[in-house]
Amino acid sequence: METLELKKQKVEEVKPITISGSAAVLEAFLAEGVDTIFGYPGGAIMPIYDALYDYNNRLKHILVRHEQGAIHAAQGYARASGKTGVVFATSGPAATNLVTGLADAMIDSTPVVCVTGQVFAHLLGTDAFQETDVINITTPITKWNYQVTDAKEIPSVLAKAFHIAGTGRPGPVLIDITKNAQLQMIEYSGYEKCTHIRSYRPKPIVRKEYIEEAAKLINEAKKPFVIFGQGVILGKAEKEFTKFIEKGGLPAAWTIMGMSAIPTNHPLAVGMLGMHGNYGPNLLTNECDVLIAVGMRFDDRVTGRLDKYAKQAKVIHLDIDPAEIDKNVKATVGVWGDCKETLPLLTELIQQKVYPQWLKQFKDCTTKEEDKVIKEELNPSKDELTMGEVIKLLNDLTKGEAIIVTDVGQHQMVACRYAQMNQSKSNITSGGLGTMGFALPAAIGAKYGAPDRTVVAIIGDGGVQMTIQELGTIMQFKPDVKILILNNSFLGMVRQWQELFHQNRYSFVDITSPDFVQVAKGYYIDGQSVNERSKLKGALETMLNHKGSYLLEVKVGKENNVFPMVPQGRGVAEIVLCKEEL
């Protein structure tokens, strides 16, 4: 069949050399600036691994312990570096092991290119050994996927893959290559990057009319409020965004995915949105008169009940993905486009302003939250350790310079609530999918993506047991990852819901753990466990100063809850500060 790819290949060929399809894959990686591959070999991808043998000095390959680990590592790499993460896996069970990571990368817009091996083309559909229909399995969880059965397609398909994964609203791409195509010899005349696909428009064209309308709304606003998501980070528009809020004097709150796009201590930063976000930004969402959403998608964890969400406000929504505008919240003015382009245009048209009264309302909320929640969390009166005090000490020691990779649960919410972050790409977490087991492999990837930064993985005792095998990857390749387990001996977040909404009926949330320090020792990773306040700071210092990876387990109070909380099914303004308010 003459596909589009083959047609394109026909034009202009210059002095070709003969290489295998497998080598063509690796040549594509080199041309795309890939330096690290996370992967795991197997039958259907052996030709590519064979070729890799000769590229070993130019491409680093990290052998993970499970393919889920490979893709989470690639995600961590992408999120820490801003580049596209790359994964190799074989067919069948290996490909299906990627599914969770693909879904995670899809919902969190993370650029990843996965190359999976596939059985010989002539065996497709015969239930061959380790054959699985990976293209159809992954269709809803990839931005694009494609099966290659003819090696001549490899250069242009990979060029497309990188273009699609990394541009516009980024996302995961999976390329499934049959074994015959990996082995096939082709005439190769160099790699050409893909810069345009006629059916794919990564960035909608910016229309000035909407910028003008948006600016007008902002200029007339008495209580404007900016909420931003990961779009600011993905668009590399941190500076543009900062200029925008600073000129407009606009208070700004982040979604969990947007965190660190501006320093957490920026004077206009008013905290985190969402179910366990800060009191002020949630409450005042329903008091602002103009709500300016930048690169965020109004997830239900951010909006709570939609029919009680910001009904009083005019909504300006800036997004690169047209499908997001009006999807959940109807925009008064939708500004389609890359925020790196739209924000400066908007900044130019808005007036220089300050809103002292309005900002004071946020400050008052903070004071209330401090009194009712934060004080006790960060400076507990009880003997039991809290997760919050661990994060506070970590802030003191890292000065907000570390990359914090979190798993999913109470520790994630607490870490994101209290961690201090001075620079962008410091917060790596599974926001949209809430994938337990994400943090350990993602932290490994983050270290390769940002080798000069301290990487701290903060994980619950439940989540760490989901991908604990990746300690083996750390043992073998020695990325310097600090592993901080906040052990409450429960599946804490589920326990909290059972306590609050299921009348204390603790149904299978009591989880036992191995001796984590011993486990780490088994992997030749140093570590210790603490359960006393007096030892905590020293232990954190030891961890951070340790040469190489280190595991620190902190035993915290078993039945602490994360507050504030917007209970499910309620409006954002119905946020509660403690159990009694529920």
Ligand X SMILES: Cc1ncc(C[n+]2csc(CCOP(=O)(O)OP(=O)(O)O)c2C)c(N)n1
CB-nearer residue toward ligand X: 209 or 510: 510
Q: Which stretch binds other proteins (CB under 8 A): 140-148, 185-193, 552-560, 566-574?
A: 140-148
* CA angle centred on 520, ends 515 and 522, rounded to 5°: 95
Nearest approach in angstroms of CB 39 to other proteins is: 24
- Mind telling me the catalytic residues? 67, 129-130, 179, 493
Q: Is 103 in the site for ligand X (CB under 6 A)?
A: no
Which residue's structure tokens are 């690639």?
74
CB-nearer residue toward other proteins: 209 or 541: 209
Alpha helices (H) in 310-431, listed in sequence order: 339-349, 356-369, 375-378, 387-398, 410-418
Q: What is the DSSP letter of 571?
A: B
326 binds, among ligand X, other proteins, none (CB under 5 to 8 A by kind): other proteins
490 binds, among other proteins, ligand X, none (CB under 5 to 8 A by kind): ligand X
Instruction: Write out the binding residues for other proteins, residues 157-216 only, by CB under 8 A.
Output: 164, 195-201, 204-205, 207, 209-210
Out of 61, 276, 340, 411, the only residue in the binding site for ligand X (CB under 6 A) is 411
Rounded to the nearest 10 degrees, what angle do helices 21-31 and 154-166 cross at?
30
Distance CA 109, CA 68 (A): 17
494 binds, among other proteins, ligand X, none (CB under 5 to 8 A by kind): ligand X
Q: Is 410 in the site for ligand X (CB under 6 A)?
A: yes
Q: Which stretch binds ligand X (CB under 6 A): 45-53, 121-129, 407-415, 449-457?
A: 407-415
Instruction: Write out the binding residues for other proteins, residues 287-326 only, by CB under 8 A.
Output: 321-323, 326
Nearest approach in angstroms of CB 9 to ligand X is: 42
- Other C-beta atoms closer than 10 Å to the C-beta of 310 total 25
Out of 274, 281, 463, 571, the only residue in the binding site for ligand X (CB under 6 A) is 463
The contact pattern for ligand X, residues 349-388, with x = CB under 6 A and - = no contact, is ----------------------------------------
CA–CA distances in Å: residue 329 to residues 232, 234, 293, 295, 321: 19, 22, 10, 14, 14
177 binds, among other proteins, ligand X, none (CB under 5 to 8 A by kind): none
CB-nearer residue toward ligand X: 82 or 557: 557
Total of chain residues touching other proteins, rule CB under 8 A: 32
Q: Is 168 in the site for ligand X (CB under 6 A)?
A: no
* Strand ranges, E, within 229-376: 252-254, 269-272, 290-294, 314-319, 333-336
Out of 168, 460, 527, 564, the only residue in the binding site for ligand X (CB under 6 A) is 460
β-partners of residue 485 are: 459, 553
336 binds, among other proteins, ligand X, none (CB under 5 to 8 A by kind): other proteins
Torsion angle, alpha carbons of 229, 233, 239, 242, to 10? 20
443 neighbors 483 (Cβ within 8 angstroms): yes
- Other C-beta atoms closer than 10 Å to the C-beta of 18 total 9
Contacts of 100 (CB under 8 A, 6+ apart): 68, 71, 433, 435, 437
Q: Which stretch binds ligand X (CB under 6 A): 106-114, 206-214, 298-306, 402-410?
A: 402-410
DSSP 90-116: -STHHHHHTHHHHHHHHHTT--EEEEE
Nearest approach in angstroms of CB 438 to ligand X is: 9
Q: Which two tokens stand for residue 415?
A: 């870490």
Contacts of 126 (CB under 8 A, 6+ apart): none
* Number of residues written out for the chain: 582
Binding site for other proteins (CB under 8 A): 3-4, 135-136, 139-140, 143-147, 164, 195-201, 204-205, 207, 209-210, 321-323, 326-327, 333-334, 336
Binding site for ligand X (CB under 6 A): 407-411, 434-437, 460-463, 486, 488, 490-494
